Amino acid sequence: MTPDAILSRAHALDAGDPLASYRAAFVDDASVVAYLDGNSLGRPLRATRAHLVDFIDGEWGGRLIRAWDELWMERPFALGDRLGRTVLGAGEGQTFIGDSTTVLLYKLIHAAVSARPGRAEIVTDTENFPTDRYVVESVAAEKGLTIRWIEPDAAAGVTLAEIERVLSERTALVVLSHVAYKSAFIADMPGITAAVQGAGALVLWDLCHAAGVVGLSLDADAVGLAVGCTYKFLNGGPGSPAFGYVATQLQDELLQPIAGWMGHARPFEMGPDYAPAAGLRRFISGTPPILGMVPLMDMLDLIEQATVPAIRAKSVLLTEFAVEAADAILAPLGVTLASPRDPKVRGGHIALEHPRMSQVVAALWEQDIIPDFRRPQGLRLGLSPLSTSFAEVGTALTRIQALLESA
């Protein structure tokens, strides 16, 4: 396949793309030739500009403090229910919006290990996202626990067999990413969850690179705990609030460590002592970021229209096209695929490796082609299905070829 053939194929795929019209819903700066980092920060939606103004003039400016009683006290849970229904495969009363991913990881990791007294180990993997590893290390030090490290294949991810080998009566909690942030490997959520729970432990899933691009069935897979961000494939914007999922049966068993007035059983009594609320509210601490939830509402509108199965289908086509093109024009130049070849276990991005990728990414950014670089030599193509065209992918790959050939 030649560069011209790749671009021709890309245009044909765009012409036949049933989701192509959704690209018009996103803010698209004409100076950007190709944006391929939607797995780090999604594009903003055009509708959000007007909706932010509406929020300021209406809910905030018009209702002022009354909006807390009328709308905002319940918004973390109402919007969480909508996210659960639309994206997570989760029933009502189990998903909430608020805090950052880091804070929610800390809350749920701390709560989980505290709920398994006498068990002294947390299991995670060396390829997990840095924040996950750092928070695990922090909680382990705080609680006097041992970390059991799995060292998976970096081009794949943690397998069920690897989990089963380390599980024991000492295991309190397993912390894993459903989609690996480097390779995009999709872990076996139902199999691993069943194995961990069968050993009497809890498992916490990081959904940051999964939510909005991979089909999820948290309830059907009997997941107990999950956390995810909203600024990647959910297009909530920089610093948009994260979400937490706590299965109904665990809610009154777990006690999160950041006691705040919003999580109190009687928040407006302003009493001298903390008493955790029943149910999901106990996982809230301070005032929820109501303003930051507006863009997420807009993206959920779009996902509901497009549907997650259709989004996943295009995601597979995008990554398949990228892998085929990379094999044709980049592999002969020494580029290797550091992601699974099987689309069934590959998420919404692919990783390509070459010793010169750092210089290549810098040069691409100069040309207004924006992928992502991961040390020491990885280039990630983040392919957000509703906003990314096949032509953007084809253009980027042919430019990578040209840059490597010009060295």
Q: Which residues are catalytic?
A: 129, 206, 231-232, 380
| Both structure tokens of 16 | 């036949």
122 and 231, same structural domain?
A: yes
361 and 273, same structural domain?
A: no
**End of a domain among 303, 326, 346?**
303
Q: Is residue 287 part of a domain?
A: yes
Domain hosting residue 188, numbered range: 73-303
Q: What is the mean pLDDT of the chain?
A: 97
The answer, yes or no, to whether residue 363 has pLDDT greater than 90, is yes
The answer, yes or no, to whether residue 407 has pLDDT greater than 80, is no
How many angstroms separate the first and last alpha carbons of the chain? 22
350 and 279, same structural domain?
A: no
Q: Is residue 372 part of a domain?
A: yes
**End of a domain among 285, 303, 321?**
303
Q: Is residue 325 part of a domain?
A: yes
pLDDT, tens digit, 9 for 90 and up, residues 102-116: 999 999 999 999 999
Q: What is the model's pTM?
A: 0.97
369 and 278, same structural domain?
A: no
- Nearest C-alpha neighbor of 172 from the set 128, 125, 241, 124: 124
Q: Is residue 368 part of a domain?
A: yes
124 and 86, same structural domain?
A: yes
- The CA R_g of the chain, rounded to the nearest whole Å, is 22
Q: Is residue 88 part of a domain?
A: yes
138 and 214, same structural domain?
A: yes
250 and 216, same structural domain?
A: yes
Mean pLDDT of 249-276: 96
Mean pLDDT of 4-25: 98
Order of strands across the sheet with 378-382?
336-337, 349-353, 378-382, 372-374
Output the domain CATH number for residue 233.
3.40.640.10
Q: Is residue 298 part of a domain?
A: yes
The answer, yes or no, to whether residue 122 has pLDDT greater than 80, is yes
Q: Is residue 52 part of a domain?
A: no
Domains: count for the chain? 2
334 and 282, same structural domain?
A: no
- Which pLDDT value is given to residue 1? 81
147 and 118, same structural domain?
A: yes
- Which pLDDT value is given to residue 238? 97
Q: Is residue 64 part of a domain?
A: no
Mean pLDDT of 299-322: 98
pLDDT, tens digit, 9 for 90 and up, residues 173-229: 999 999 999 999 999 999 999 999 999 999 999 999 999 999 999 999 999 999 999
Output the domain CATH number for residue 31.
3.90.1150.10
213 and 153, same structural domain?
A: yes
Question: 24 Cβ partners below 8 Å, 6+ apart?
Answer: 46
pLDDT over 90 for what percent of the chain?
99
pLDDT, tens digit, 9 for 90 and up, residues 133-144: 999 999 999 999
3-state per-residue secondary structure call for 127-155: CCCHHHHHHHHHHHHHHCCEEEEECCCCC
312 and 295, same structural domain?
A: no
**End of a domain among 276, 303, 330?**
303
288 and 148, same structural domain?
A: yes
Neighbour count for residue 132 (Cβ, 10 Å): 23
| Both structure tokens of 275 | 């008493």
- Which pLDDT value is given to residue 120? 98
